[in-house]
Amino acid sequence: MQKLAKRAAQAQRQATRRARQQMEREKIDHRMRNRQALRSAVSEVWQNLKDARQARKEDWEMGPLAPKRDLGFNNYGAFRETARQDWTNHGLHQARPQLIEKRCAWAGGAGQLNLAPQDRVVIMDGPDKGKIDRIRDVHPENGTVTLENHHRALSVGLFDGPARSQAMPISVGSIRLVYPLRNPEIGVTRDVIINQLKAVPPNMQSPNMSLDRWQYGRKWDRLVPGLNVVIPWPEVQAPVFETMKCDTVREQVEQRTFYYGLLSPPMPDQVLDELRNKYSRFRTRHEPWYIKQKEMEEAAKKGRLEATRSMQTPLAEFHERRREVRDTLGEPELSEDMLEKIGEYMAKKRDAALSQGGVSEVSSRAPAS
Residue 208 is predicted with a pLDDT of: 47
User: DSSP for 91-121?
Assistant: TBSSPPHHHHHHHTTTTT-STT----TT-EE
Residue 218 is predicted with a pLDDT of: 61
Task: Tell which phi-psi region holds residue 80, choosing left (phi > 0), alpha (psi between -120 and 50) or beta.
Answer: beta
Same domain as 201, residue 140: yes
Q: Are 177 and 193 in contact (CB under 8 A)?
A: yes
Half-sphere exposure of 339 (CA within 13 A, CB side): 4
Residue 229 phi, psi dihedral angles, 5° rounding: -110, 130
Instruction: Assess if residue 226 is contained within a domain.
Output: yes
Residue 216 is predicted with a pLDDT of: 47
**Domain final residue, candidates 215, 240, 265:** 240
Residue 151 phi, psi dihedral angles, 5° rounding: 55, 60
| pLDDT, mean of each 10-residue run, the chain (369 residues) | 84 93 93 87 86 88 78 64 55 70 91 90 91 93 91 75 81 94 86 91 52 54 87 80 88 84 79 83 85 89 81 84 87 87 92 79 48
Same domain as 226, residue 127: yes
Beta strands in the chain (DSSP E): 120-123, 132-139, 144-147, 152-155, 164-167, 170-171, 175-183, 188-194, 198-200, 221-224, 229-231
Helix, coil or strand: residue 232: coil
Task: Compute the distance between CA of residue 259 and CA of residue 304 in angstroms, rounded to an integer.
Answer: 48
Helix, coil or strand: residue 167: strand
Task: Compute the distance between CA of residue 215 and CA of residue 210 in angstroms, rounded to an integer.
Answer: 11
Residue 86 is predicted with a pLDDT of: 57
Residue 284 is predicted with a pLDDT of: 83
**Domain final residue, candidates 209, 240, 271:** 240
Task: Compute the distance between CA of residue 346 and CA of residue 334 in angstroms, rounded to an integer.
Answer: 16
Domain extent for 311: 288-325
Query: For position 168, which CATH number holds?
Result: 2.30.30.30
Residue 34 is predicted with a pLDDT of: 85
Same domain as 229, residue 147: yes
Residue 157 is predicted with a pLDDT of: 67
Residue 203 is predicted with a pLDDT of: 57
Domain count, the chain: 2
Task: Compute the distance between CA of residue 154 and CA of residue 164 in angstroms, rounded to an integer.
Answer: 5
